[in-house]
Amino acid sequence: MRTVVRVTERVLETPSTVTLRFRYAAEADPGQFVMVWLPGDDELPMSLSYTDGPSKGVTIKAMGGTSRRVQSIRPGDPIGIRGPYGNRFDLSPHRVLIVSGGSGAAVLAPAAQRARASGAAITVALGATKAPELLFRDRFRDLGARVEVATDDGSEGSKGFVTAVAEHLLATEPFDAVWTCGPEVMMKKVIAAAAPRSVPVFCSMERHMKCALGMCDACALGPFHVCVDGPVFPAEKLEDVPDFGTFHRDPSGRRVSY
């Protein structure tokens, strides 16, 4: 069952990323996602970037045609929402390192928000192609998180991949957990960096998704379905999944290499 809501606010977060806010009363936790229906067009899984209170939000980066059409939604436009679906981040660790690549911050920011509210110390390694694309940098800072930036072109923070920042932080500071979302190659490097220090890593995963109910198999990830077994996976669950960082499936179910 879907609930049709009107978009209340549209925020251009970065040149390529848009947040849509809407009123949706259902309880939700950081890590969970909703299915967002664009009437007459498509329905997409989107992690909630705002989970607290009745005003929820999703944040989407322009990738293909559908994500661009989502971005073109304006305040007052109707969208259908079902969910929230999926599991959530375990927010109990006290010293958390967040590693975000690209639009990964969309799902990590509400986790940071909830964890900060209960007193956790949050360090964010935030990566983007260039400075204007750093998603939720100010939101993280306003929460009281320490933010270490990496950009591919060096326009802000250190030049290069965010994994180098994460590796340095893990090598020099103690953390109780790492939460990460971004390209799978990036997350694999984060897992490798955390392993020698036995810091547990939790990855928010993405796959093409259709039913979001555990029926259609579109989001199969090894023995898991991202929609019901995820989207948040502890790294040890992904260890023996050959798909991870290797291939995903297109809408027909064909394997597509990364």
Burial 159-191 (b: 16+ CB within 10 A, else e): eebbbbbbbebbeeeebebbbbbbbbebbbbbb
In the complex, least distance from residue 40 CB atom to another protein, rounded to whole angstroms? 7
Q: Does 1 bind another protein (CB under 8 A)?
A: yes
**Distance in angstroms (rounded) separating the CA atoms of residues 62 and 106:** 13
Nearer to another protein, 41 or 138 (CB): 41
Q: Does 173 bind another protein (CB under 8 A)?
A: no
Among residues 41, 153, 173, 236, the one that binds another protein under rule CB under 8 A: 41
Residues 6+ positions from 254 with CB-CB distance below 8 Å? none
Q: Does 257 bind another protein (CB under 8 A)?
A: no
Q: Does 252 bind another protein (CB under 8 A)?
A: yes
In the complex, least distance from residue 208 CB atom to another protein, rounded to whole angstroms? 9
Q: Does 169 bind another protein (CB under 8 A)?
A: no
Binding mask 210-229 for another protein (x = CB under 8 A): xxxxxxxxx-x-xx-x--x-
Choose the binding region for another protein from 25-33, 75-83, 102-110, 137-145 (rule: CB under 8 A): 75-83
**Distance in angstroms (rounded) separating the CA atoms of residues 51 and 171:** 32
| Token pair listed for 98 | 């967040």
In the complex, least distance from residue 242 CB atom to another protein, rounded to whole angstroms? 9
- The candidate with the shortest Cα–Cα distance to 221, out of 213, 236, 231, 234, is 231
Among residues 15, 27, 40, 54, the one that binds another protein under rule CB under 8 A: 40
Q: Does 65 bind another protein (CB under 8 A)?
A: no
Q: Which of residues 101-140 bind another protein (CB under 8 A)?
A: none
Among residues 9, 42, 173, 236, the one that binds another protein under rule CB under 8 A: 42
Nearer to another protein, 9 or 250 (CB): 250
Q: Does 206 bind another protein (CB under 8 A)?
A: no
Q: Does 77 bind another protein (CB under 8 A)?
A: no
**Distance in angstroms (rounded) separating the CA atoms of residues 199 and 188:** 14
Q: Is the alpha carbon torsion for 28, 144, 203, 256 positive or negative?
A: positive
Nearer to another protein, 192 or 228 (CB): 228
Q: Does 251 bind another protein (CB under 8 A)?
A: yes
Nearer to another protein, 160 or 214 (CB): 214
185, 110, 125, 257: CA torsion to nearest 10: 10
Interface ranges with another protein (CB under 8 A):
1-2, 4, 35, 37, 39-44, 78, 80, 82, 210-218, 220, 222-223, 225, 228, 249-255
